[in-house]
Chain A
Amino acid sequence: MFPLESLGKFTLYLLSLFIGMGFGAVLEMSGFGDSRKLAGQFYLRDMTVVKVMFTGIIVAMTLIFFSSSVGLLDFDKVWVNPTFLLSVAVGGFIMGIGFIIGGFCPGTSIVAASTFKLDGIFFVLGVLFGVTVYGETYPLFQNFVEDGEIKRFLLTDLFSVSTGTIMLLVFLLAFIMFYFAEIAESYFGKKTPWSEISLIPKNKRKIAAASVLITIAFIMFFVGDLTPQQKWNRLSINEQKQLDERAVFVQADELRELMFKDIAFLKIIDLRDESDYNLFHIKNSKRVPLKQLSEKESILELQQIPQPAVIFLVSNGEKLSSEGYKILKSNGVTNLYILDGGINSWLSRYPIEGVNPIQSDNKEQLNYKFNVAIGSKYPSSFPNVEHFPAIEFTKKVKLKSKKLTSGGCG
């Protein structure tokens, strides 16, 4: 399954070098080392930038989402630039002004410099100066640029539609732009008289290529996005193995230890119904019904939890929490664990006086008899060592921070 994980530093750097070479070469071959070509964009006489950039976007988009829908690529592990609406809008505007003055963007200026274009070299020096100024004045803008971050905010979330729908819309947008770009280029660039410009696209190869892309988008549109179960099935056998080998089932004592440790984020999610939760729950646990857990908002919140974090799923037994585990895991939530034996095991390890076990075969029920709802009022909800001396347990929680490659610009 891609992207490749646990790449060694050396391999990652080498790969980045080769990818960069491809990037630089294609920019150079398309003419992006020439500032006149880039600026010509804004006078409608040379539309190379729009054509190359949007063809690149739609081709990459098709390959990314198609390979992820057939299970080759795990999209949850792909870096998506977080959205800072105001900051990117202002930044984009500033850069637009810089573009028309300087005639490059940072990437293209590197390519211009590499082919000895002096204006490219001056532009690169300018960029170095610009980032220096930014670094030194950063405290002035810090709040503005860091506020309002929305992670992994996709067009599909914004419009609440499927990936296929967005692909269709983006492709249409791109084709309309290409259509007008061709006309603008003939009129403003080649100075073809208006009467001689054909308004009907005739190039068969272009039409064929566009049809292929549109067809893929239509297939994606009709197939629709994967459900959590389908995603789970696509995940490598490893994930199921984690469950089967009980690698993610953590004993009560280890959870207890984490509760008393000063770790960044410990999130305990209680999947049981309200009445069980009111009778008894672990201190600081949050009740989230399974249905709510599968909703976009909950998943996003857990995907974005600051790292290093540990997330625990709790139910009376293990059935409900295993369900929840599959849903979250197939949505790319990491550092996820299940309370071994659930609340029933917890209560047998940290008993409460007067609350007695009931004989039952159904482990998903609360198998203890409560006369009153005690919530998290008793030491059993936050079992310190004085009340419940420590015992040996097998350590299973691994604190690791999820690190996504942020790409060159991150």
Chain B
Amino acid sequence: MEKRYINPYVGGVVLGVVLFLSFFLTGGGLGASGAINRVQVGIVDLVASFHVDTNIYLAKMGGGTLNAFDSASIWMLLGTFLGGLISGFFNKRLKIETRKGEGISNKTRWIMAFIGGAIMGFGARFAKGCTSGQGLSGGAVMAVGSWVFMFSLFAAGYLFAYLFRKFWRV
């Protein structure tokens, strides 16, 4: 039987402590999208190394002798995955399934997830980070850009929520 999720405020306090430890020990915050970007560059570098060397954006991470995987953020990404896996195991939530709103098929949900992910991945590069790296981490150290980012993200979410209400009906 799946265990219940923890109280969101307790979760928030733990998250705050983890975020603080990240800053306190390494000087940098949490994040995920930058590392996902590195994974992409690393994969492209394996199959088309020349392309990475000649594309100015990709070259910054994997050009020449640079190894896109050789970065602390990759290890944080791996840790995030493992942390989720371990917590999922102990809370009996490891289960192959698709979480979706009522009234849509699994296939529709997968397509939506892929499209949403693509938009997010694309947007995250404009925003120079994702919800965790730009929003959460930057927000905690009072970066102006991060607060602008958060308001912008939530504003768009609420503005477009009505359009996509069918997909998230409960």
Are A126 and B28 closer than 8 Å at their CB atoms?
A: no
Closest to A155 in B: B142
| Cross-interface CB contact of B99 among A36, A64, A98, A404, cutoff 8 Å | A36
Are A94 and B123 closer than 8 Å at their CB atoms?
A: yes
- A407 neighbours in B (Cβ, 8 Å): 22, 28-31, 34, 73, 129, 133, 137
A326 interface residue (CB < 8 Å to B): no
- B136 neighbours in A (Cβ, 8 Å): 53, 56-57, 60
**What's the Cα separation between A51 and B111 when bound, in Å?**
29
B50 to chain A, nearest CB (A): 14
Are A128 and B125 closer than 8 Å at their CB atoms?
A: no
The DSSP consensus for interface residues of chain B is helix
- A123 neighbours in B (Cβ, 8 Å): 113-114, 116-117, 120
- A41 neighbours in B (Cβ, 8 Å): 157
A388 interface residue (CB < 8 Å to B): no
Interface hits, A40-57 → B, CB 8 Å: 40-43, 45, 47-48, 51-57
The size of the chain A interface, using a CB distance under 8 A, is: 140
| Most chain A CB atoms below 10 A, which of B5, B6, B137, B145 | B145
| Most chain A CB atoms below 10 A, which of B18, B21, B55, B80 | B80
| Most chain A CB atoms below 10 A, which of B58, B113, B118 | B113
A25-B87, A31-B5, A129-B121 given; A60·B19 CB < 8 A = yes
**What's the Cα separation between A44 and B151 when bound, in Å?**
16
Are B17 and A59 closer than 8 Å at their CB atoms?
A: yes
A370 to chain B, nearest CB (A): 47
A291 interface residue (CB < 8 Å to B): no
- A60 neighbours in B (Cβ, 8 Å): 15-17, 19-20, 23, 136, 140
A29-B6, A126-B116 given; A408·B76 CB < 8 A = yes
Are B81 and A113 closer than 8 Å at their CB atoms?
A: yes
Are B127 and A115 closer than 8 Å at their CB atoms?
A: no
- B158 neighbours in A (Cβ, 8 Å): 42, 96
B11 interface residue (CB < 8 Å to A): yes
Are A410 and B128 closer than 8 Å at their CB atoms?
A: yes
Q: What size tier do the contact residues of chain B reach?
A: 35 or more
| Cross-interface CB contact of A88 among B13, B15, B128, cutoff 8 Å | B128
- A93 neighbours in B (Cβ, 8 Å): 123, 152-153, 155-156
Are A55 and B117 closer than 8 Å at their CB atoms?
A: no
A51 to chain B, nearest CB (A): 4
B84 interface residue (CB < 8 Å to A): yes
Selected interface stretch from A135-143, A271-279, A373-381: A135-143
- A72 neighbours in B (Cβ, 8 Å): 24
A401 interface residue (CB < 8 Å to B): no
Selected interface stretch from A99-107, A257-265, A317-325, A359-367: A99-107
Are A67 and B140 closer than 8 Å at their CB atoms?
A: no
A16-B79, A30-B8, A89-B149 given; A40·B132 CB < 8 A = no
A199 to chain B, nearest CB (A): 19
Are A83 and B144 closer than 8 Å at their CB atoms?
A: yes
B115 to chain A, nearest CB (A): 6
- A5 neighbours in B (Cβ, 8 Å): 27
Are B41 and A53 closer than 8 Å at their CB atoms?
A: no
A140 to chain B, nearest CB (A): 11
Are A56 and B19 closer than 8 Å at their CB atoms?
A: yes
Are A126 and B88 closer than 8 Å at their CB atoms?
A: no
B25 interface residue (CB < 8 Å to A): yes
- A106 neighbours in B (Cβ, 8 Å): 32-33, 36, 117, 120-121, 124, 130-132
Are B87 and A29 closer than 8 Å at their CB atoms?
A: yes
- Can you sample 29 A-B contacts with CB below 8 Å? A20-B80, A21-B83, A23-B132, A24-B82, A24-B85, A25-B84, A29-B91, A31-B8, A53-B15, A53-B136, A56-B13, A56-B136, A81-B134, A81-B141, A81-B143, A93-B155, A95-B119, A95-B153, A96-B160, A99-B120, A100-B163, A113-B84, A115-B94, A131-B36, A141-B126, A142-B57, A145-B125, A150-B144, A154-B142
Per CB-CB distance, the 3 closest pairs between chain A and chain B, nearest first, are A102-B116, A409-B133, A20-B79
B interface residue numbers (CB < 8 A to A): 5-6, 8-9, 11-37, 39-41, 43-44, 55-58, 72-73, 75-88, 91, 93-101, 106, 109-161, 163-165, 167-168, 170
